[in-house]
Structure 1
Amino acid sequence: MATGALLLAFALLGVAVAQRVVTVQNGPLVRTEGSHVTIWCNVTGYKDGLKQDFDWSMYLPTAPGREIRIVSTAQSDYAYAVYAQRVNSKEIFVERLSDDSAVLHITRVQARDQGVFECYTPNTDGQYLGFYSARTNLTGKRHVLHQL
């Protein structure tokens, strides 16, 4: 069966062809303490016309399985205590670029910010259509980000 005919058959059967995919900047992102870092996040493959939300978390190298919530476009009280003050003071914030794109800003990187950053987009499709998150690594060398 030709590709066009196959896609038409899927469409007639109600089978989703689009796949939700979240992408972030490739890492590692190396920054000096006190500098400003931005990490962009995009989502594609979702139902058109729906504004997407973005949740940002991080994972420390010493606890790679433990999520630390930072900031969300949907939930004002999303941040865990370790980041809440920095989010409330706008030292850390999310800038929405479009319905499907946002940028995380950390205006003054601290040594404790080293780790894996994850951008998650909640499902708006009513069914599973692919990946919901993507990760990148923020790091510094010993002489770049000094431990507190």
Structure 2
Amino acid sequence: MGKTRALILLCAAVGICHCRLVTVSTGPLLRVEGQPLSIRCDVSEYEGPREQDFDWKVSRGTQFINVISTFEDRFSDHSLEDRIRSGDISVSRLADNAVELRIQEAQISDSAIYRCSTPSTDSVFSGNYDADVQLQVVPNSLIVAPDAPIPAVREGGSIRLLCNVSRNFMEGIYLSLTWSVKKGSSLLEDLLTFGPDLGVTVGDDYMRRYTDGGMRLEMGNGVSHNLVLSGAMPDDQGMYICTARLWTREQGAWNRIQEKIMEMGEVTVTPTANSLSVQVQDDSTLSTGETLLLTCSVSAEPLWIWR
């Protein structure tokens, strides 16, 4: 990528009107095995047709082999034909001067240097006509195994949502966890997200509860993470979900490279009034002038309560 930056400075310094510039995503790019990935390529400051063509190649040892082209149907190396025919490897045009190389299920063997090239349509050969980026595909090690919450909680009790997450740590890859709830047929509501930058993001409908201490995050040993909802209300019942995502930082922005969603379990909250049973006992036969005693019995149904 140093060569590309040098060409930008050169074109600006000498004032060349048409100094072809081919750029790709800034690398190295970290991606996860089995996940989809894309690599963008743009060309600017060119002459000729507005719609430009692109060729993608990949390094094999000291040589580059052909992957896919927007111009030549028979461009691809025979070793990649099955993946291209199935659509696992494809090229998608984003604009007249931009495309994406797409891989539906990344393989460890896809780790390599990728080269995007543009055939010349310029009257004068100037600038750069290809650009390289390094791709590293890492093993899929993310495991999300939440504990099922207690299914029935009495109003005023606590709901504990334990999400266990493990992965192989690698520099440049960051984790985030999101707790959500789905209530009936309504859309999924995010309660709280931790990460990927060690910060906490709280759902709009839960901000006051979080600031009041009614919702708190308990970080465990790096694997087990708890979100606790105290003072449970009937509106808290629903299906709770834990989502783990892996991220990289690219061009100053977070780029999600993997996501795993797991249902934790359904929780119902019984209103206090509905759990009470009231009986008035009056089996007395009285004579005139005697005192009447009425016995009122109040009982509650046995439900799990977390303190």
TM-score by length of 1: 0.79
> Is residue 122 of structure 2 the alignment partner of residue 98 of structure 1?
no
Look up the match of 2:21: 21
In structure 2, C-alpha distance between the alignment counterparts of 1:36 and 1:75, rounded to whole Å: 24
In structure 2, C-alpha distance between the alignment counterparts of 1:23 and 1:55, rounded to whole Å: 13
Whichever residue aligns with residue 136 of structure 1, its letter is: V
Indicate the structure (1 or 2) with the bigger Cα radius of gyration: 2
Look up the match of 1:6: none
Q: Point out the structure with the larger strand share.
A: 2
Q: What is the SS of the residue equivalent to 2:109?
A: helix
> Is residue 108 of structure 2 the alignment partner of residue 111 of structure 1?
yes
Identity of aligned residues (%): 33
Q: Using the TM superposition, give the Cα deviation of residue 90 of structure 1 relative to its aligned residue in structure 2, in angstroms.
A: 1.0
**Runs of 5+ unmatched residues, structure 2:** 1-13, 142-307
Q: What is the SS of the residue equivalent to 1:85?
A: helix
1:123 aligned residue (120, 123, 126): 120
Q: Using the TM superposition, give the Cα deviation of residue 59 of structure 1 relative to its aligned residue in structure 2, in angstroms.
A: 0.7
Whichever residue aligns with residue 19 of structure 1, its letter is: C
Whichever residue aligns with residue 26 of structure 1, its letter is: T
Deviates more, 1:42-51 or 1:128-137: 42-51
Q: What is the SS of the residue equivalent to 1:140?
A: strand
1:132 aligned residue (129, 132, 137): 129
Query: Cα 1:135–1:127, aligned 2, differ >3 Å: closer, same or farther?
Result: same
Alignment of 1:1-148 (within 5 A): 17-47=17-47, 49-60=49-60, 63=61, 65-141=62-138, 143-144=139-140
In structure 2, C-alpha distance between the alignment counterparts of 1:104 and 1:129, rounded to whole Å: 25
Ranked by relative contact order (alpha carbons within 8 Å, sequence separation 6 or more), the top structure is 1
Query: Cα 1:49–1:75, aligned 2, differ >3 Å: closer, same or farther?
Result: closer
In structure 1, C-alpha distance between the alignment counterparts of 2:119 and 2:73, rounded to whole Å: 15
In structure 2, C-alpha distance between the alignment counterparts of 1:134 and 1:79, rounded to whole Å: 19
In structure 2, C-alpha distance between the alignment counterparts of 1:140 and 1:88, rounded to whole Å: 22
Look up the match of 1:5: none
In structure 1, C-alpha distance between the alignment counterparts of 2:71 and 2:30, rounded to whole Å: 28
1:85-129: CA deviation from partner (whole Å, max 9, x where unpaired): 111111111110111000110011111111000100100113202
Q: Give the paired residue count.
A: 128
Q: Using the TM superposition, give the Cα deviation of residue 16 of structure 1 relative to its aligned residue in structure 2, in angstroms.
A: 5.3
User: What CA RMSD, in Å, does the superposition of the two structures yield over aligned residues?
Assistant: 2.0
In structure 2, C-alpha distance between the alignment counterparts of 1:84 and 1:50, rounded to whole Å: 29
Whichever residue aligns with residue 70 of structure 1, its letter is: V
Q: Using the TM superposition, give the Cα deviation of residue 49 of structure 1 relative to its aligned residue in structure 2, in angstroms.
A: 4.3
In structure 2, C-alpha distance between the alignment counterparts of 1:70 and 1:85, rounded to whole Å: 12
In structure 1, C-alpha distance between the alignment counterparts of 2:20 and 2:54, rounded to whole Å: 14
In structure 2, C-alpha distance between the alignment counterparts of 1:127 and 1:71, rounded to whole Å: 26
Q: Using the TM superposition, give the Cα deviation of residue 144 of structure 1 relative to its aligned residue in structure 2, in angstroms.
A: 4.8
In structure 1, C-alpha distance between the alignment counterparts of 2:113 and 2:56, rounded to whole Å: 11
TM superposition outliers: structure 1 runs of 4+ over 2 Å: none
Give the conservation status (yes or no) of the 8 Å contact 2:107–2:137.
no
Query: Cα 1:120–1:136, aligned 2, differ >3 Å: closer, same or farther?
Result: same
Q: What is the SS of the residue equivalent to 1:26?
A: coil
In structure 2, C-alpha distance between the alignment counterparts of 1:80 and 1:110, rounded to whole Å: 17
